[in-house]
Amino acid sequence: MSDLITTRNLVEELRALLCEGEEEALQIFLQLVRSEDIAEWLEYLSDEERQLLLAALDHETAGAVLDDASTSIRAALIEEMDAERLARIAESMPRDEAADLIGELEIADSEELLQNISYEDERVLRSLLKYPEDTAGGIMNPDLVALPATATVDETISALRSAGDATVTAAVYVVDEKHRLRGIVRLRRLVTARPNATLGEIMKADVISVPVEADQEEVADLVEKYDFLAIPVVGANDRLLGAVTVDDVLDVIEEEATEDIYKMAGSSAEEEEAESLLHIARFRLPWLLVCLAGTQLSTTVMGLFAHRVPLFDQISIFTPAIMAMGGNTSLQSSTTTVRRLALDTLAKSRYLTHVLREVTVALLMGIACGAVESVVALLLHGNPLVGLAVGSAMAVGMSAASLLGGSMPLILDLIGVDPAVASGPLVSTINDSLGLTIYFTISTALLLALG
C-alpha cells in the first residue's frame, strides 16, 4: 500500500514537471530515479506525456526505458521518434536488446535504422536478427570478454576495464585461435587469483554450453539446474558466439509459464500485445469455435437419449452437475500432469503409474461426491433409482474424466505436441460428451432394469 502511494506521488510530481516544461527541475528529478522505475511510470502517463518524458532522457536511459516498457507502449513511442534519434538510442543499448527493438520495427524502418548506425554495430545486429527470437541466439548477448589461455589475470582485468557496460561479466571465456570455447573463469575466481597467473591455469575446462539454435526453454532449464549466472552459446565447430545471462532467463521462465497458463484457457500470451479488440478475438475465437464444434457431440448425445431415457425431465436436470464435476476433475488431473511435464519431474517410465494414481484419486473422490449427490437427488425427487443413477454416474464419470485429463497431456507429449493444450477447451469438450454418455447409459440401464 505505501509503495503504491509513493509511486502515485512520484508520478504526479513527474507529470507536473512535464507539463510545466521546467527543463532543469525535470533533469534533476530524472537524475535521482532509475530507468526501471521510469519504464513502470509510463503506464500511468498519457501518450503526450510519454513523448515529452522520452525526449528529456539521454540516449542510454531512453534505451533502458524502452527495453523495460510494455510492447504496446514501446511500439507507440518508437513510431513517433525520428530515425536519427532511434539510431543513437539503439547504439547505446546492449546489442541483444537493440536487436529485439529492431526486430519489432517494420522492415523499412529497421533498414533505415541499420543504415544510420556504425558499420560494426550494423554487422553484429544483422547477424543477431537472423536467429529466431525464442532460441539461444535470439536471447544471447554477443559482447563478452574472450581471451586465449595464455592471457594473464592482469591482462584479463585490463580487458574487463575497457569492456562496455553492456558486456557479459559474470565470467570471462577462454578461446583458442579459432575462437572455439575452451574454458571458463568465473569472476570470483579471477578476483582471488594471483595477478600473473594465466587463464589456462585457473580456468574450468569442463564447460556446459548451448548450441545457438537451442530452444530458449532448454537454455533456461540448464541455467536453473546448475545455478549459472550466464551460459555460453556456441555455433558450428564450438565457436563462441555469445552468452545468455540469468536476467534473460528469468524473463524466459516467466514467459513460458504465461504461455502455459494462456494455453490452459485456450488463448495465447501474444494477445497481450494486441491493441484492438478484434485482434484479441482473433486469438481466442478459434478455440471457442473448436469447442463449439465439440459441443455438437454433447447435443447429439442428449438428443439421442431425450426420447429413450425414462423420466428424462428428472434425469436431465442433473446433467450440469455431472458435466461440472467431470470437467473439474479432469482439469485437476491435466493441470498436475502438464505442470509436472513442464517442470521435468515426471520420468517417462512413470507415465503409467502416474495415470493410475490420478484415476484412483478421482475414483475415491468420485465415490464421495457421488454418495452426496445420490442423497440430494433422492431428497429432491423421492425416487431412489434416480439417486442411484446420478451417484454412480458421477463416480464413474469423474474417474473417466481423470483418465482423459491425466493421459492426454502424456500422449500429446509423446507425439511431440505441447501438452499444455490438453488443459484447454478441446479436452473439456470431449469430456462433456463422455460424461453425458456415461450418465445417460447408466440411467437408462438402471431405470429400465429396475424401474
CA atoms 13, 18, 24, 27: torsion sign? positive
d(CA 161, CA 190): 13
Q: How far is the CB of 90 from a second copy (least distance, A)?
A: 19
Q: DSSP of 6-28, one letter per residue? A: HHHHHHHHHHHHHHHT-HHHHHH
User: Where in 254-273 is the site for a second copy (CB under 8 A)?
Assistant: 254, 257-258, 260-262, 264-267, 269, 271-272
Q: DSSP code of 45?
A: S
d(CA 190, CA 209): 20
- Quick one: 173 or 262, whose CB is closer to a second copy? 262
- Residue 444's nearest CA partner among 304, 320, 326, 299 is 304
Describe the strand order of the beta sheet including 181-186 as a list of residue ranges: 144-147, 168-175, 181-186
Q: How far is the CB of 383 from a second copy (least distance, A)?
A: 13
**Angstrom distances, CA of residue 383 to CA of 117, 127, 302, 315, 445:** 82, 75, 22, 11, 16
**447 scored as a contact of a second copy (CB under 8 A):** no
- Report yes or no: 95 and 142 within 8 Å, Cβ to Cβ: yes
Choices 104-112, 124-132, 153-161, 233-241 (CB under 8 A): range interacting with a second copy = 153-161
Q: How far is the CB of 107 from a second copy (least distance, A)?
A: 28
d(CA 214, CA 146): 22
Binding-site member from 55, 292, 352, 450 for a second copy (CB under 8 A)? 292
Q: DSSP code of 167?
A: S
Binding-site member from 6, 150, 296, 353 for a second copy (CB under 8 A)? 296
Q: How far is the CB of 289 from a second copy (least distance, A)?
A: 7
**22 scored as a contact of a second copy (CB under 8 A):** no
User: Where in 405-444 is the site for a second copy (CB under 8 A)?
Assistant: 423, 425, 428-429, 432-433, 436
Choices 16-24, 48-56, 82-90, 297-305 (CB under 8 A): range interacting with a second copy = 297-305
Phi, psi dihedral angles at 364 (to 5 degrees)? -60, -45
Q: Mark residues 39-78: x for contact with a second copy by CB under 8 A, - for none.
A: -x--xx-----------------------x-x--------
- Quick one: 114 or 396, whose CB is closer to a second copy? 396
- Quick one: 117 or 159, whose CB is closer to a second copy? 159
d(CA 230, CA 248): 9
CB neighbours of residue 310 within 10 Å: 14
Q: Mark residues 79-118: x for contact with a second copy by CB under 8 A, - for none.
A: ----------------------------------------
**Angstrom distances, CA of residue 24 to CA of 10, 45, 129:** 17, 20, 39
Binding-site member from 129, 149, 157, 446 for a second copy (CB under 8 A)? 157
Q: How far is the CB of 240 from a second copy (least distance, A)?
A: 20
- Report yes or no: 87 and 113 within 8 Å, Cβ to Cβ: yes
Binding-site member from 53, 66, 101, 325 for a second copy (CB under 8 A)? 325
**205 scored as a contact of a second copy (CB under 8 A):** no
3-state DSSP assignment of residue 141 = strand
**173 scored as a contact of a second copy (CB under 8 A):** no
Residue appearing with cell numbers 508520478: 11
- Quick one: 30 or 269, whose CB is closer to a second copy? 269
Q: How far is the CB of 376 from a second copy (least distance, A)?
A: 7
**126 scored as a contact of a second copy (CB under 8 A):** no
Total number of residues that touch a second copy (CB under 8 A)? 109
Binding-site member from 141, 209, 216, 319 for a second copy (CB under 8 A)? 319
